[in-house]
Amino acid sequence: MKKLNNMLSFVLLIIGISMSGSALAEINVFGFSNDGLNTSNGLNITTNSGDFFLPISDSGWWTSSKHETQNKNYIAGTCFPSCSTTDNHNNFFTFDFSDISETITSASLTLFTYSIAGRSVDYQLFDITSALSEVRATGTNPSVYNDLMTGVSYGSFIYNPSDRFQFRSILLNADGILALNSAIGGEFGIGGTVASGIDGIPLPPIPEPETYAMWLAGLGLLGFLGYRRRIKAVNPLFVSSIAH
C-alpha cells in the first residue's frame, strides 16, 4: 500500500508541474501599445512665455537582444506569456527641440498607458547617453538596452490597474529640466524601465501537445492504480502475483 501511495503522489506531482510550469506572471506597462507612432504622447512644457505641448518624434522598446526601427510600440517590463519572449523590455522616447529657444521651467511626460500587467508597477525615467541614432537603429545593442534603465533619474510613476487606457503625466525632476534646457535647439531622449511591481494574475497557459500526452499518461496510471486497489480488496493473492 505504501508503494502505491508513493506512486500516486508522484503522478499527481508530475501532472501539477505540467499544468503550472508555463503560467508565468508578467509585470509591464504600455502593453499592446500601437505599432504606429502615437503623437498624442509628449511633453507638456512650461517656459517664461507660457505652456505648450511637444509631441514625441519617435518611440520604441529594446530587449537585450533586439530593437526594430519600424515598431513604435513602447512596452516596458516583461510580457510572457502574453507575448512570445521572456525578455525584459526597456522603452524610449525622443523629441525634436530644434524650434525651442526659451528656457524651460517645468515639464511632464504624458503617455497613454494602454494595458498594465501587475500592481504598484514602478516605472522609472532615465537619461540617454547613447547617440539617438543608435537608439533608433534596428539590431542588437546591449549597451543601448542597459542605457535606457540606468544613469540619471528624471522621474517615476507608480502604475496600477486603474490607470489602464488612460493618459498619465510623469513630472520631470530638476535633473530632467536641466537636461531639457541643455537639449534646446537639438534633440532629446528619455529612457524608461520597470524597476519593480507586484505580479499580475498569470494568463491561463495553452497546453502543448506533449503536455496533453503527459496528462493522459498520468490519468491512465491513476486509473490502473485504482484498479489494482479494487482487485486487492477482492483478491490480495492476485495483486501479489501481478506485482512480482
Whether residue 122 is found in the same domain as residue 44 = yes
Whether residue 118 is found in the same domain as residue 215 = no
Whether residue 137 is found in the same domain as residue 222 = no
Whether residue 44 is found in the same domain as residue 164 = yes
pLDDT digits (tens, 9 = 90+) for 144-166: 999 999 999 999 999 999 999 99
Residues of the domain holding 157: 28-198
Whether residue 210 is found in the same domain as residue 96 = no
Task: Give the 3-state secondary structure of residue 202.
Answer: coil
Instruction: State the pLDDT at residue 172.
Output: 98
pLDDT digits (tens, 9 = 90+) for 28-59: 999 988 778 999 999 999 999 999 999 999 99
Whether residue 186 is found in the same domain as residue 154 = yes
What number of other Cβ atoms are within 10 A of residue 104's Cβ? 22
CA 210 to chain centroid, in Å, comes to 27
224 CB contacts (<8 Å, ≥6 apart)? none
57 — alpha (psi -120 to 50), left (phi > 0) or beta?
alpha
Question: Does the pLDDT value for residue 16 go beyond 60?
Answer: no
Whether residue 209 is found in the same domain as residue 129 = no
Question: How many domains does the chain divide into?
Answer: 2
Kindly state the average pLDDT of the residues 103-128. 97
Instruction: State the pLDDT at residue 201.
Output: 47
d(CA 82, CA 234): 52
List, as one string, the DSSP characters of 1-12. -HHHHHHHHHHH
Whether residue 109 is found in the same domain as residue 178 = yes
d(CA 143, CA 135): 10
In angstroms, the Cα distances linking 244 to 216, 240, 241 are 26, 7, 6
What number of other Cβ atoms are within 10 A of residue 115's Cβ? 18
